Every structure is written in C-alpha cells, then in structure tokens.
Chain A
C-alpha cells in the first residue's frame, strides 16, 4: 500500500479490500477509484494502516524540505514554561489561551525550538507576518520562509498569512510537521478551516487571547487540539501585565443625528417586530438571511446598517477624540475606530498617523518604529492594530467604535497591557447614550473589569 498526498488530501494506492470505517476518515473516491482521506487525519490513517498487509509505504512527502536549523537561547516566564509543558504533555496538540501582551509568540518560539520540526506558522494579517518573521529571525539559525504579502519563499520554518495558506495548502500541505496557528479564534467556523484540514502536520499549536464559543471551540479542538492551558488578564495584571483603568465616556447625538437614528430604528424595528411574531426564537444570522429575501427585509437591514454607520463616528465622538488627544498629548495614544474612513478623518483633523490595510507594509513598520521611539505619539487604526501588533509603549487608548464585538474589544484593551515600569494604562471607550452602544459598552466593560476586580 502506498500513501500519497494529493491536493490537500491523502490517497491510498494499491490498497487491499478495506472494510468501511476501519481507517479513520478514509472513504472510497469513485471519481478516481482510490481510497482518500482528509490530510489532517494523517497520523490516524498511518496508525490504522501500520499493522495491515501489504505493508504501508508512506510517500506523502516525496520532495521534503531541508531539516530546520538550530534555534538560539530563549528565556521563558514561569507561566510560559507551564503553558509549553501542558502542550507537550498533550501530545503537542492543543490551544494555549493567554491574554494579549503576555508573550504568546515566545511560547510558540519555544515550541518550535523544542520540537525541531519543519513548521508553518499561520498569522491573520500581513503586519503579523512581518512581526513573526522578525521574531523568528532573532532566534532561528536558518532562513525564515514567508508566504504572503507578495512573497512566496518556502523554507523549513515558514510564516504564512491565513489567506496564502488557504490558497497554497493543496500544494504545501505535506511539507510541515508542526502548525502554529496565531490568533486561532479565527478558525473553527468558516472556510479558513480548510487550510488546517489540508495539512498533514501531526503537531499543532493554537494561540489566542479570546477563544471562540461553541460550536467553533469544538471544531478548533478537532483541528488543532483542545485548550491545554488558559490564563486571563486577571491572572497576570499587575506583575506580567500592566494595571489599567477603563473609562466609558457617554456621549449624545446632535439633533440631526438623533432624527436619522430614530428614523432608521423605526424602519428596522417595525420589520423585526413582524418577523419576531412569526418566529420569536430566530437567531440573528437566520433573521438576516430571511431579511435579504424580501424588499422590506432588505430595507430594514439597510436601515440597521445606516444606524451602525452613523454611530461609528458621531459629532460628539469627534469632539471627544479632539479633547482626549489634547489632554493626553504627552502620552502614547492608540485610537481605534470602526472603519478606515473614520481613521483617516481623525488622521487629517489631528495630524496623527493612520495604520490601515491601505498603508504599505514598509510605511506601517516605519510608523510603528517611530511610535516606539517616540517621534510619533499617536496612531489611529480601524483593525490593523487590533491583533498581535507589539506596542508596549502605548499607555492610552481611545476606542471610538468597533464592529467585531467583545473579542475585538478584548484584543484592543490588550494592546495597552504590555507592561512597562510605572505604567498604568488608561482606556477610554466612547459610547452614545440611548443607543445600543451603551449596553454593549457595559457588557464589554463587565467582561474585562469584573475579571480584574475578582483578582483583587
């Protein structure tokens, strides 16, 4: 029997008669008259076929990459060592949940060093691609490969964006023994899962600060491994993470904005009440799906979107941003907006550097370096700064608005928590009174502050 890799799947050639279900994931593919299994079940398939006759010849990797080079010294904090040990004891499969700023990358580097395996590190953004490549460059003795942001260089240790990995995994899925998945909460519920399914890597490490809810969590456990170690902000704040104050600033709408808001709310509310009468338990995604199928529903959704857009950057929020930037002109400030348009408006009005997906990698890196050095004192961003970017110098955040809910909020707050001597971070979240923003802000605040209070 020969086991081959075929475009993100495993193919069993010269196979004897096999009873159904005897090999996990193996199915008969009538299209090519061969047995086929998903690549991510490689270890199980190999294990199940090991003692069968005729003997199995593993040819999933006819042209393997070179062995990885050696790694340099790494120092780990006590909880990082504990996290790594938990992962190793779990058979090198699992997800480590640590708050933003606690050094998840350091744990990953130690895992790479200890496993000495050919490894692919998956990251969500181009900014993180660069950050990971630099971090690896500091400890890894060989050349670090890079897939994404216009580069396609495959090495024994390679960093890839999620998008590039998804596109290229049918070709490179057999090359790596270890997958490191940064910001692993992006997986488990979408098409991206296929990138993990098309890889044979038996060792897998997920990193996240904000694990997803069910059913995505179970799917993540299947594709990467279960949560093997978890700490919250409360566990680390004060010693390993900076202490912080979270202030919700309640603002109003001007007369024109209020009238528009109420108009839109009425259109949406009327439609929602009608549909709720038919199906009171309908989930929001189902509601949206049904709404897109009728003109009234589409109008309601459109009104709902207009309101969200209106609340992203109201006149009062613009004034509050101006006042807060004036008040903290000597601090290092991060401003988070819901969209790029608001980020550019703040950038123009207050002459602060925007960090968006439209700004080139080189310019973003230069801006982040200038921020760390103090030649820039404020950065404004919609999403790029949300995840992974390392700016320990930041001590004030202004969260103008968001679109991604609680997880995004936790990530943004986490940007401020990287510790520095004498630092106490200050986080302002702006919310508009008498709108849905208020209860969302309260919920988010409760989620983060309650954990810290419980610790004290």
Chain B
C-alpha cells in the first residue's frame, strides 16, 4: 500500500471524485531509465540509491509517479543484507566493549575488529548491515520491463485507494461469482441487485443504463459491499478485505467499481471509479478462497460417486429479482440431462429457508439442494423438513447428497 502522502500526491480531486494519475505508455522512457539506474546500483546500499533518485533523472519524470514506480520496483527486487560479521554479534561485542573501555573510539574498533579477525572498515560496515537502509540493491528480475512497472504502479495506486474504502459498489457483467465468493470469504456483507435497478451517486439511473446499453447487456449485477461495522460509522477497517476483491475483477467480463474512500484519516469521503474500460491490469492469481467444507466435498466426492461429475461454480440462476450462486452442479456422466445444483448456506434462519424454498418452487427450480450448517443457525429450533435440505456440521456427507439425487446408487443410504 502506498503511504498516505504519496497516495495524495498520486491523485487529484474533481469535485468529490478522485482522479488517479495513472502511469501510461508516455512514461515508458523514464521508467526504462529508472530500471537502468537501478541496475547501475546493484550491490550498493539501498539508501544510496534512494538518495540518488532524489535528483532528477536525465528524462523528466513526474515526481509522484517516480516515487510510486520506485516503491514498486523495490518491492519487485528483493534487496538483501551483506555483512562479513553477523551484525547482531558485531553490535553486541562493540557496544559492550565500548561501555567497558575508557579508550577512544578507534582503539575500541581496532580491538573488536581484531577479535573477529576482520578489518576496522569491515566491522564498521557490518555494524548495521541488517537494517533495511543498509541492504544492498539486488538485480531486478529479467521479466521486469517498463510496461510491467506501469501495470504494477497503477495497481498500487488503485489498491491503495480501495484499501482506504468505506464502501464499494461494483457493477458487474459476467462472472461475478469470484467477487461474491471472495467477499463472503473475508466476512464482508454483499447485497445484490440488478444493475439497472440501482441509482448512481447523482441519484439517476441513466449512467448505469447507458453503461448497460453500451455493453449491450442488461444482465448486469450491482454488488454493494461493506462490513458489519459500516452500519455505525465510516470505517476503513475493511479496506484490506475490500482490496482483496481487486484481483477478482479481472475475471468479470465488464465491471465498474465505485469506491467511497477518505484520503485522510478523518477526511471527507470521496469516490473513486475504476472500470474495465481503463487498462488497469488487475489480473493476478486467485487466492485459495475455497471454503474447507467445499474442498472436503470435492475430495470425498471423487472416490464415492464416479458416475457423477461435481462441477464447481456453475452459472448463477435468476429467479425474480433474486439470484442464486450455487457452489456446485452435479452432472451424471452418462446421462448429462440428469443435473442438480448444490448451494451451501452459512448463517440461516427459518424465514430465510422457507422463503428460499418457496421461491424455488415458484420458479420451477426443483433440482437444487440446500446444505445448511448446523452450527450457524440464527433461529430457534430445527430447520424445516424438506427433501432438498441437507444438514452438515464440519463436512457435507456425499452419501446424503447421493441419497437424494441418485437413490439407486446407495440403496442403504439414509437422508
């Protein structure tokens, strides 16, 4: 995350809107020079390089952009400590010897250097060699190019803004699941609506409609994401969790993210908009956000039900204004028309389950199993009795699933 002062210098305000100063292709020339300078300092102290970079480069580079790029570059090239004597040992010996002796500094240095069988300058070098400012610059990896620096620097700006976010609204067209899954995984509250039903901050629906028209897709989703405490105060405590959504955006076909964030700790919130039209490379590897219960089911299923394929993350289902994101689809390998959906529910109440079952029936969706966590009821008593509800505690029993979708496979299986 960029330090606050650098982030402030990397954006400007247009009304209440935050406009980032993204790096572009026009910055490539000075970025190339920056990489050259970096390579020239390989083996020298990081602090020397930083001092050197305070001077202007041969090609004019915008100050804030240069600082962002330098920070990103430092992150990509792991500097390392280099010392003849382990610094901790050097300090322990030297400072204790100095406290004991009444001799001058040089005499103490000579005495301690001799005890390590090294020169005075070597012991002097080793003294604080483990401090970051004393670390030595290491060779940047070969794959680092000006365009990679542009991507990473822009991502650092975007990430730092979202890390300071209080609330995030994301309009998504296609593949919203990764976002939803991650939001739930990190404990955020996510409310869903059809994109066209939400209003933009100005109070009109026109902006969203024009975006949908531009995309020629009316099946957009609006995700409003915040944390529990956000009900009571403007809080950036969920910033890290909100920022973890960014790498998932790249998996959506189109998106527009609006983050409400404060640039100063108690400053006025402003909004920052990022859309898929801007060439910000948010793509990164997906983290392991698969819940333990899902991983266990996948593992258990493979050995127990060879006739059924367990497909992760099928397409979501709309019914009315609601949307279901089933975790799995179960497809019979020889008769692919035999298909079931499986949704894993965390916290649940009676009302929620009744309503969900009623709505599914009304929409004619019969082949959907609800797996409910017995440890997470938010209601008194037992869940409703329904053939499509499977209860679990730590793992979903594949036999119970098979007992419903393919009773013939396990004649002795109880539901």
Interaction A to B: yes
Beta-carbon contact of B378 and A2 below 8 Å: yes
Nearest A residue to B95, CB-CB: A353
Partner of B378, one of A4, A190, A360: A4
Q: Does B119 contact A (CB under 8 A)?
A: no
What 0/1 pattern do residues 44 to 77 of A give for CB contact below 8 A with B? 0000000000000000001000000000000000
Partner of A27, one of B96, B108, B232: B232
In the bound complex, how far is the Cα of B226 from the Cα of A25, in angstroms? Answer: 19
Beta-carbon contact of A14 and B231 below 8 Å: no
User: Which range contains the number of B residues in contact with the other chain?
Assistant: 35 or more
Interface residue ranges of A1-41 to B (CB < 8 Å): 2, 4, 6-9, 11, 13-14, 25, 27, 29, 31-32, 34, 36, 38
Interface residue ranges of B226-279 to A (CB < 8 Å): 226-229, 231-233, 235-237, 264-267
Partner of A197, one of B226, B227, B229: B229
User: Which of the 9-residue segments A128-136, A372-380, A448-456 touches chain B?
Assistant: A372-380
Interface residue ranges of A297-341 to B (CB < 8 Å): 298, 329
A-B contact pairs, 8 of them (CB 8 A): A2-B378, A14-B379, A31-B226, A38-B232, A197-B233, A289-B264, A347-B95, A351-B98
Q: Does A82 contact B (CB under 8 A)?
A: no
Beta-carbon contact of A14 and B378 below 8 Å: yes
Beta-carbon contact of A11 and B378 below 8 Å: yes
Partner of A198, one of B226, B229, B265: B229
In the bound complex, how far is the Cα of B8 from the Cα of A293, in angstroms? Answer: 9
- When distances are taken between beta carbons in the complex, the residues of chain B under 8 Å from A363 are 88, 91-92
Count: A-B pairs, CB below 8 Å: 108
Beta-carbon contact of A13 and B92 below 8 Å: no
Q: Does A194 contact B (CB under 8 A)?
A: yes
CB of B106, distance to nearest CB on chain A (Å): 10
Partner of A352, one of B95, B224, B226, B228: B95
- When distances are taken between beta carbons in the complex, the residues of chain B under 8 Å from A298 are 9
CB of A377, distance to nearest CB on chain B (Å): 5
CB of B29, distance to nearest CB on chain A (Å): 24
Q: Does A259 contact B (CB under 8 A)?
A: no
Nearest A residue to B239, CB-CB: A191
In the bound complex, how far is the Cα of B128 from the Cα of A298, in angstroms? Answer: 34
Nearest B residue to A379, CB-CB: B95
Beta-carbon contact of B237 and A194 below 8 Å: yes
Q: Does A370 contact B (CB under 8 A)?
A: yes
Query: How many residues of A are in contact with the other chain, CB < 8 A?
Result: 48
- When distances are taken between beta carbons in the complex, the residues of chain B under 8 Å from A377 are 99
Beta-carbon contact of A2 and B228 below 8 Å: no
Q: Is the interface of A mostly helix, strand, loop or mixed?
A: mixed
In the bound complex, how far is the Cα of B347 from the Cα of A13, in angstroms? Answer: 11
- When distances are taken between beta carbons in the complex, the residues of chain B under 8 Å from A7 are 187, 227-229
CB of A197, distance to nearest CB on chain B (Å): 7
Indicate whether A9 sits within 8 Å of B8 (C-beta atoms), given known contacts A190-B265, A353-B95: no
Beta-carbon contact of B132 and A358 below 8 Å: yes
Indicate whether A352 sits within 8 Å of B98 (C-beta atoms), given known contacts A9-B228, A38-B229, A194-B235: yes
CB of A186, distance to nearest CB on chain B (Å): 13
In the bound complex, how far is the Cα of B187 from the Cα of A170, in angstroms? Answer: 9
Beta-carbon contact of A366 and B92 below 8 Å: yes
Nearest B residue to A28, CB-CB: B231
In the bound complex, how far is the Cα of B266 from the Cα of A251, in angstroms? Answer: 38
Nearest A residue to B226, CB-CB: A31
Indicate whether A344 sits within 8 Å of B128 (C-beta atoms), given known contacts A13-B379, A289-B264: yes
- When distances are taken between beta carbons in the complex, the residues of chain B under 8 Å from A25 are 232
- When distances are taken between beta carbons in the complex, the residues of chain B under 8 Å from A9 are 228-229, 231-232
Residues of B within 8 A of A (CB): 8-9, 13, 88, 91-92, 94-100, 102, 105, 108-109, 124, 127-128, 131-132, 187, 189, 191, 224, 226-229, 231-233, 235-237, 264-267, 349, 375, 378-380
In the bound complex, how far is the Cα of B191 from the Cα of A353, in angstroms? Answer: 55
- When distances are taken between beta carbons in the complex, the residues of chain A under 8 Å from B91 are 353, 363
- When distances are taken between beta carbons in the complex, the residues of chain B under 8 Å from A375 are 96, 99-100
Q: Does A350 contact B (CB under 8 A)?
A: yes
Beta-carbon contact of B131 and A344 below 8 Å: yes
Beta-carbon contact of A376 and B96 below 8 Å: yes
Q: Does A446 contact B (CB under 8 A)?
A: no
Partner of B237, one of A62, A191, A347, A349: A191
In the bound complex, how far is the Cα of B95 from the Cα of A366, in angstroms? Answer: 12
In the bound complex, how far is the Cα of B297 from the Cα of A91, in angstroms? Answer: 50
Partner of B105, one of A31, A351, A353, A378: A351
Beta-carbon contact of A13 and B378 below 8 Å: yes
Could you list 9 further interchain pairs (A-B, Cβ under 8 angstroms) beyond the known A9-B228, A197-B233, A292-B8?
Answer: A29-B231, A36-B231, A170-B229, A197-B229, A289-B264, A348-B128, A349-B105, A360-B88, A376-B99
Partner of B267, one of A13, A289, A353, A367: A289
In the bound complex, how far is the Cα of B90 from the Cα of A351, in angstroms? Answer: 11
Q: Does A93 contact B (CB under 8 A)?
A: no
Beta-carbon contact of B128 and A32 below 8 Å: no
- When distances are taken between beta carbons in the complex, the residues of chain B under 8 Å from A349 are 105
- When distances are taken between beta carbons in the complex, the residues of chain A under 8 Å from B237 are 8, 166, 170, 191, 194, 198
Q: Which 4 A-B pairs have the closest CB atoms?
A: A351-B98, A13-B378, A9-B228, A353-B95
CB of B40, distance to nearest CB on chain A (Å): 24
In the bound complex, how far is the Cα of B91 from the Cα of A370, in angstroms? Answer: 13
For A6, A7, A329, A358, the residue with the greatest tally of chain B CB atoms inside 10 Å of its CB is A7
In the bound complex, how far is the Cα of B380 from the Cα of A2, in angstroms? Answer: 8
Beta-carbon contact of B236 and A191 below 8 Å: yes
Partner of B127, one of A13, A292, A293, A348: A348
In the bound complex, how far is the Cα of B235 from the Cα of A198, in angstroms? Answer: 12
In the bound complex, how far is the Cα of B53 from the Cα of A306, in angstroms? Answer: 18
Beta-carbon contact of B99 and A378 below 8 Å: yes
- When distances are taken between beta carbons in the complex, the residues of chain A under 8 Å from B235 are 191, 194
In the bound complex, how far is the Cα of B9 from the Cα of A292, in angstroms? Answer: 8
In the bound complex, how far is the Cα of B169 from the Cα of A110, in angstroms? Answer: 49
- When distances are taken between beta carbons in the complex, the residues of chain A under 8 Å from B349 are 13-14
Nearest A residue to B124, CB-CB: A348
Nearest A residue to B264, CB-CB: A289
- When distances are taken between beta carbons in the complex, the residues of chain A under 8 Å from B109 are 351
CB of B87, distance to nearest CB on chain A (Å): 9
Beta-carbon contact of A32 and B96 below 8 Å: no
Partner of A36, one of B96, B102, B228, B266: B228
Indicate whether A32 sits within 8 Å of B99 (C-beta atoms), given known contacts A2-B378, A13-B378: no
CB of A68, distance to nearest CB on chain B (Å): 26
In the bound complex, how far is the Cα of B235 from the Cα of A244, in angstroms? Answer: 44
- When distances are taken between beta carbons in the complex, the residues of chain B under 8 Å from A378 are 99
Nearest B residue to A288, CB-CB: B264
- When distances are taken between beta carbons in the complex, the residues of chain B under 8 Å from A29 are 228, 231
- When distances are taken between beta carbons in the complex, the residues of chain B under 8 Å from A8 are 228-229, 237
In the bound complex, how far is the Cα of B100 from the Cα of A27, in angstroms? Answer: 66
CB of A64, distance to nearest CB on chain B (Å): 15
CB of B299, distance to nearest CB on chain A (Å): 26
Indicate whether A31 sits within 8 Å of B96 (C-beta atoms), given known contacts A36-B231, A38-B229, A194-B229: no
In the bound complex, how far is the Cα of B224 from the Cα of A376, in angstroms? Answer: 58
Nearest A residue to B187, CB-CB: A7
For B98, B224, B264, the residue with the greatest tally of chain A CB atoms inside 10 Å of its CB is B98
Nearest A residue to B112, CB-CB: A351
- When distances are taken between beta carbons in the complex, the residues of chain B under 8 Å from A4 are 378
- When distances are taken between beta carbons in the complex, the residues of chain B under 8 Å from A289 are 264, 267
Beta-carbon contact of B191 and A370 below 8 Å: no
